[in-house]
Structure 1
Amino acid sequence: MAKVIDGKTFARRLRNYITAQIAGLKEYQGEPPGLATVLVGSDPASEVYVRNKAKQTVDAGMVSFQYSLDAGTSEAELLQLIAELNADPRVHGILLQLPLPLHISTERVINAIEPAKDVDGFHISNVGLLGSGQKALVPCTPLGCMMMLRGQLGSLKGMHAVVIGRSNIVGKPMAQLLLADDCTVTIAHRHTLDLPNLCRQADILVVAVGRAEMVKSDWIKPGATVIDVGINRVEREGTARLVGDVDFKTVAVVADAITPVPGGVGPMTIACLLFNTWTAFCRRNGLPEPDENAFSLVDGIGVLNEFQRQAN
């Protein structure tokens, strides 16, 4: 039976590390790190998610700036707010909650965020820096996946990693991070031929497609590590529940390690948002960035060291 990679434990230890680092700022005379979250519209799930982010921001010792705008807010008005946040020295990170209303260009607004404050890692400058192996702010979900992979496996060098999904948010940056760790990487998508056979070649399988329990046990190489990014709401016996893109019960019999849904990748996404905000704060103020050897998350393996090495 596969080892369950506990994202909640990873996230708690990462948040504790960040909180301790911020608490050590007593000798620093400036403002504490500040994270601004911008929500346009009243989607209930997004509202809950933003509140959770704000609570964890404050709990870590940061300042939370929250902006909830009406769904009818114009693109020009949103761009004006982004410009004000870019210029605000109290704000070190800007998070734009997606999706935006259809009348607003997501691409235009994301690329209006100052790259040094783009803690989601979606700005075209950060995308380009990551792709060329330079120092960038990395999208939170792939970063969290990498931390868990390193915690489970240590070095990833030489492993064959298959990423199912090619989105700009997860699939593409995930592949770039895996390449930076010397994996052989294959990106699969809806047009990939014989997907099950391809997956059976993977030492590491990352699934981010949004199709409930699509990946079955006979897709898995015995001993593989499986990272399930999917979150899907399904009805089972009259009860709504969350499941991933992987059929957890059957795949766990074949794999060596697997992330659960919920409780796997999700908690790490928010923790990595705090990590990126802290990193942005340090860069802006000329302070040492998070120490690559400062802490360990699982069994004495420092999972930040490889990320920091390739980022620096």
Structure 2
Amino acid sequence: MIVLDGKIASAAVKEEIKQQTAKLLASGKRAPHLAAVLVGNNGASETYVASKVKNCEEVGIRSTLIRLDADVQEAVLLDTIASLNADAGVDGILVQLPLPKQISEQKVIEAIDPLKDVDGFHPGSAGKLVQGLPTFIPATPYGIMLMLEHFNIETTGKHAVVIGRSNIVGRPMSILLSSNLKRGNCTVTLCHSHTPNLTELCLQADIIVAALGRPEFVKAEMVKDGAVIIDVGITRVEDATAKKGFRIKGDVAYAEVAGKASAITPVPGGVGLMTIAGLLKNTLQAYVSREQL
């Protein structure tokens, strides 16, 4: 059984990006620039953004963090995005989700210049992904594809079951795995909360991508021997015996499923690290694409 270690795969991706940015600087060009906007002080969001900023520094990408109060009006956030859109020195824009209730996430997503949409959430990016055109891929699915590539996981002709249909992970993941790509060409079944025969479908799967946000939902009896398991879930579960009072759980019951899988991602230390790698790749691509205009 192979542990699909995100530390190993992300380190390889980051080293490649670091070398590319070093070449840009050596040739007299500026570094790629990612601007992140954080609204409020949500603990998880703070952690995610801090990690993104740290990883940018490690690979030579410039980052700017813009903080706005939790009670900020939607118009102010949209004005902030408009300013970043107009700034020629900014290549990628990331607005950390979720946002406070007074702000429409969809309006914010659509306000970002598609050429700077490094999260890959803009409808224009999603449309191009469906049509197989070059575009920004949402960071988590992109990171998963990079992980499959790094560990040389065969996908062609395989049956993949994706559990979860969010626009951030499930839907784009199903499109990528079914596309004519080196790590695509799967027959994909996209499942969700209304799928009646989920266990039966999972038992047919060569690859399972669990992205539904329910701790340890995928059990051993749902997995056939030799399946590849990609666990996207990351949920804090209260645990009085843990030092921090909680433990991080994935969507897969790792201890029991690992014995049946041919490859599996750990949580933490798996897909989460690859999500940041995907974001960094998108930021570098945004810089390269805009320099070519």
Match of 2:291 in 1: 285
Deviation track 1:53-77 (CA, whole Å, cap 9, x = no partner) reads: 1111122111111100001111111
Output the TM-score relative to the length of structure 1: 0.89
Match of 1:69 in 2: 68
Moved more, 150-159 or 256-265: 150-159
Match of 2:278 in 1: 272
SS of aligned partner of 2:111: coil
Give the Cα–Cα distance (whole angstroms) in 1 for the partners of residues 76 and 25 of structure 2. 37
Match of 1:300 in 2: none
CA 1:258–1:155: 2 relative to 1, 3 Å:
closer
Deviation track 1:216-262 (CA, whole Å, cap 9, x = no partner) reads: 00111111100000001123453211110000011011110000000
* Aligned residues with identical type, % of pairs: 51
- Cα offset for 1:13? 1.2
The answer to whether residue 226 in structure 2 is matched with residue 223 in structure 1 is: yes
Report if the CA contact (8 A) 1:100-1:106 is conserved. Answer: yes
Give the Cα–Cα distance (whole angstroms) in 2 for the partners of residues 28 and 100 of structure 1. 39
Paired AA for residue 72 in structure 2: T
- Cα offset for 1:153? 4.0
Report if the CA contact (8 A) 2:25-2:31 is conserved. Answer: no
CA 1:114–1:28: 2 relative to 1, 3 Å:
farther
SS of aligned partner of 1:144: helix
List alignment gaps of at least 5 residues for structure 2: none
Report if the CA contact (8 A) 1:150-1:156 is conserved. Answer: no
Match of 2:198 in 1: 195
Paired AA for residue 248 in structure 1: Y
Output the TM-score relative to the length of structure 2: 0.95
Match of 1:11 in 2: 10
- Cα offset for 1:151? 3.0
Report if the CA contact (8 A) 2:24-2:30 is conserved. Answer: no
SS of aligned partner of 2:190: strand
Paired AA for residue 187 in structure 2: T
Query: RMSD of aligned C-alpha atoms?
Result: 1.3
Match of 1:294 in 2: none
Report if the CA contact (8 A) 1:4-1:259 is conserved. Answer: yes
List alignment gaps of at least 5 residues for structure 1: 288-312
SS of aligned partner of 1:161: strand
Paired AA for residue 13 in structure 1: A
